[in-house]
Every structure is written in structure tokens, then in C-alpha cells.
Amino acid sequence: YLVALAVAASLGSGVAAVTYAAQPSAAPTGELAEVVVTATKRKTLAQDTPISMTVLTAADIANRGLTDFNTLAQGVPGLAMRTSGPNETEYEMRGLNSSGGNTSMVGVYLDDIALSAPASEQLGKVIIDPNLYDLQRVEVLHGPQGTLYGSSSMGGTVRLIPAMPQLGTFDATGETIVSDTGSGGSINFAQNGMVNLPLGSKVALRLVGSSSSSSGWLNRYVLADNSVQSDTCSSTPCYRPSNFYTAPIISTTTGVNSST
């Protein structure tokens, strides 16, 4: 809107008028959206949480093209990984790693479910290579987190927070990723999909499926090649009896078939 202010002054028989037009103020730009995290087992704003951490929202994951932990580790300061094959991944943070020990130095969680195996035969490795599709956010907590996450988090903790079912809303997404590895022998494929199903006014179900096929990184002319086939399926039913209570149940199944 325009507001005009007229000031008149009488000088003898003449009248002088001056008009000022106030332009509408521009909307503020560059504002940062508030990010809610649960790093301390309760909801807090990221800027108010007294922990050194890196938070990636769903938009960050999509914009950066992060599809697995390998690409995630490349974009998070202080986080590194090394792997001996499928489901044989070891994470390192702030220079701390298991070094072939019996327990992991970096805890990996799917929401509040630990993915680091306590068994000594795993030698500190994570037993599941998580898929980053349909996550609400990723929280990377730097430094010792033993108070809240136990002895397997001396270097830090990585928390994968899945997207929760949405009541009263049908939604579906999907994507196909095609890539090529030099001298790998064939094309790499990955397919991801999600369906959110409302089941009445208080119940919803969210289904997520992922399938990937990697040709490996070299051609083997004897026996089979070093290809990897990985399939993941997760289901999350959610029941909300009131506005103050929500009960989600997360179930994830992963199958890996590799040839060496």
C-alpha cells in the first residue's frame, strides 16, 4: 500500500505541497529455519542443544544427493569410514576407531535402535549398511556420548531419524538411480520407493523399500564377479490415540547377497 503525507505551507497567496510515498517493506530474506533434534533424548532446537553436532535435514540429503553412508561421510566433518565388504563397515570420528577391537567407537542408531553389534566377532563393525532414503534427518554427534548412548559411542554417535507416518494423508514417492563403475563389468542400479497409507483417523502405515545392485569395482574372469545385491524393506505403523501421545513401531529388514 502507499501512504501519502501532504504538508502545505501558506506563503502569501501561494500554497506549496510536498508529497512523500512510503514503499512497502520487503519481506525478510535469508532466515534460517529452526531444526528440532532429539540428540539428548528429548526435543530441542539444534542451536539450543549443548552438543557439537552436524544435522542434515531431508532437504539437505536430497539436495546433496546423499544415498548411502559413503556419500554421507564425505560431507560431514570429522566422520570417516572404512569397509571390508557388505555389512562390514567401521566408522571413525575424531580419530577414534575400534582398531580391530571388540566394540565400536562410533555408535550408529536407527532412531533409538542400535545398529552396532555388541558381539566380539564383528570386531567393532556395523552389521547393517543403512539406506538414507525417506529419512526425516541425520544427527551426527561429535565427541564422547557415553552418558546417553553407552560405551560404543566414545568417538561420537550417528542417528538416522526415519520419517514418521502422516495421519489422514496418502503420499508416495520413488526414484531410480543408474551409475557406472569404471572396469566394474556392468551398470549399477538402485531403486527406492515410499508409500504412506492412512488407515482411519488415528492409524497410518508408512512402507519404504530399497533395492540396489552394484557391479563391483573390477572385472573378474575367474569364478563370479564381486557384485553386491542389497534389498531393504521397512514398515512403520503409527497409532495416535490423542494429540499428546503417538506410538510408532519401526521394523526394518535387510538382505545382502555378494559374490567375491
pLDDT score for 173: 92
Q: Looking at the 3D structure of the chain, how many domains does it have? A: 2
Same domain, 64 and 141: yes
Lowest-confidence pick of 80-94, 126-140, 153-167, 202-216 = 80-94
Domain that holds residue 194: 171-258
Q: How far is CA 89 from the centre of its chain?
A: 18
End-of-domain residue from the set 119, 135, 162: 162
Same domain, 123 and 81: yes
Residue 62: give its domain's CATH number.
2.170.130.10
Q: What is the DSSP string of the chain?
A: --EEEEEEEEETTEEEEEEEEEPPPPPP-SPPPP-EE-TTSS-EEGGG--S-EEEEEHHHHHHHT--SHHHHHHTSTTEEEEESSTT-EEEEETTB--TT-SS-SEEEEETTEE-B--SGGGTT-BS-----TTEEEEEEEES--HHHH-GGGSSEEEEEEEPPP-TT--EEEEEEEEEE-TTSSSEEEEEEEEEEEE-SSSEEEEEEEEEEEE--SS--SSS----EEEEEEEEEEEEEEETTEEEE--EEEEEEEE--
Instruction: Find the radius of gyration of the CA atoms of the chain.
Output: 26
Closest by CA to 246, choosing from 203, 201, 186, 208, is 203
Mean pLDDT, rounded, for 40-68 = 87
pTM: 0.74
Same domain, 156 and 58: yes
Structural domain includes residue 17: no
Structural domain includes residue 94: yes
Q: How many CB atoms lie within 10 A of CB 200?
A: 9
Same domain, 184 and 234: yes
pLDDT in tens, 2-37: 333 333 333 344 433 433 444 444 445 556 678 888
- Give CA torsion, residues 123, 127, 133, 137, to 10 deg: -50
How far from each other are the two terminal CA atoms of the chain, in whole angstroms? 71
Same domain, 152 and 81: yes
What whole-number distance in Å separates Cα of residue 169 and Cα of residue 36? Answer: 22
pLDDT in tens, 90-106: 788 887 777 656 677 88
What whole-number distance in Å separates Cα of residue 153 and Cα of residue 251? Answer: 23
- Nine-digit cell at 227? 557384485
More confident residue, 35 or 122: 35
Amino acid at 186: S
Structural domain includes residue 7: no
Would you say residue 85 has pLDDT above 70? no
